[in-house]
Structure 1
Amino acid sequence: MKKFLLALLFAPLTAFASEHVHLDKAPVNLEDYASIQRGAKLFTNYCLSCHSANAMRYKRLEDVGLTADQIKNNLMFATDKVGNTMSISMSQADAKLWFGAVPPDLSVISRSRSPDWLYTYLRSFYRDDTRPTGWNNTVFEKVGMPFVLYGLQGEQIFKEPANAEHDAHAKPELELVKPGSMTPAEYNAAVGDLVNYLTWMGEPAKIQRMEVGILVLLFLGLFFILAYYLKQEYWKDIH
């Protein structure tokens, strides 16, 4: 019985450890508001048609330097009120019929998947005629999502590593055979902006939270000094 309970306890960790996927470091900088603004534009143009972000309100984008008019004129395509959430008009029934599964809400996708996973995933699509959408992904094998950014990146094909048998954890090789409207460097930068936005959207108040945390620690440090000398003053006659 104990062995069974331990197996249940560590099963998720074992499953996670078995996934040996090479992840590239995402260029996340939550203080780069220009990058977050560019990422928000990519998100609303390419992701928000199928994926919702129901925990995010358009108005929150004012925190990264956009005005209400800029948000309304450039980013709002599914609603007419800047205070509304980033919902989509596609119903879950239609989504399941068209894609086989309901596309997940992306409000906190960076916290559940990690920025590095998203950055690598969005750069790892390749042509695969055996898949219903014609696309596959080295990070998410047999992915059901069509590659909506192919017009920017172009089309890649998968190249089997020469030493695959000896190095099972080698980084998969992809070759760009049909360029998109962006160069590889430009596409990587654009994906970096998109991931930067997704990371910020997962916790818009993170920077403020960290600043408040530092102030609280400084206050506690100062209070500790005062409390220590106050204790010394109260107890000096006893010791």
Structure 2
Amino acid sequence: MRLTVLGGCGAWPTAEQACSGYLVEYAGFRLLVDPGYATLPRLLDQVTVDAVDAVLISHGHPDHCADLNPLLRARGLSDEPPPPLPVHAPRGAVDAVLALDKPSMLADAYRLHEFVPGDRFAIGPFGVDTWLLPHFVPNAGIRLTTAESVLAYTGDTGPSPDIPRLAQGADLFLSEATYTHRVPAADAPYLLTARLAGQYAHQAGAARLLLTHLWPGTDPVVAREAAAEAFAHPIGVATPGLVAHLG
């Protein structure tokens, strides 16, 4: 399995960094996970739009799904449109994005497969297990499994005993880490710190930790140091173009 980071900035994109977006490849299948703000240009650095085989979205915040719209436009309005793109998302999560255009305009560009966090299903060669994790809107923690490797991804989440289960023994644990050491009180049930991400990676026995969704302007060195207080294995920060090989 190969993970390419398209972006990892929380809330809004910056001049240097798109929001959450990850291209996961295995056995010739390309799965786009969380096409957030400004990820489509970064995707086009890697592949053409018709090379994406499916999309998987953790939740309905636009920093995780807004660029589904230009992706569908680029496919559906091309001179030779590719087959409809399977889009997997929690129930209702992409309604607002799909409503940006009149229904008939992109109707043939995608096929929507809605799920309830907690469901288990397959996308191409990937086994997909999901967990309902606490956030401001329903969010699916995602575990992608192949014969050789496991990638665990939190989406956006607050503290939960399910996170170590999601990441148990994962080759790579991709964890939101909006803050470094402390989340403001009002948001504490719904977001993580880098330090807590490190604690969960340690509890899960993950091989590697990749921090993502850092608040814009956060020093990645400080985030890594915070995670390293609890996790002794390799730690990275999601930046555009970063590639991780699993298995």
User: Per residue, is there more helix in 1 or in 2?
Assistant: 1
How high is the TM-score relative to the length of structure 2?
Answer: 0.27
Q: Which has the higher contact order (CA 8 A, sep 6+)?
A: 1
**Considering only CA atoms, is the larger Rg found in Structure 1 or Structure 2?**
1
How high is the TM-score relative to the length of structure 1?
Answer: 0.28
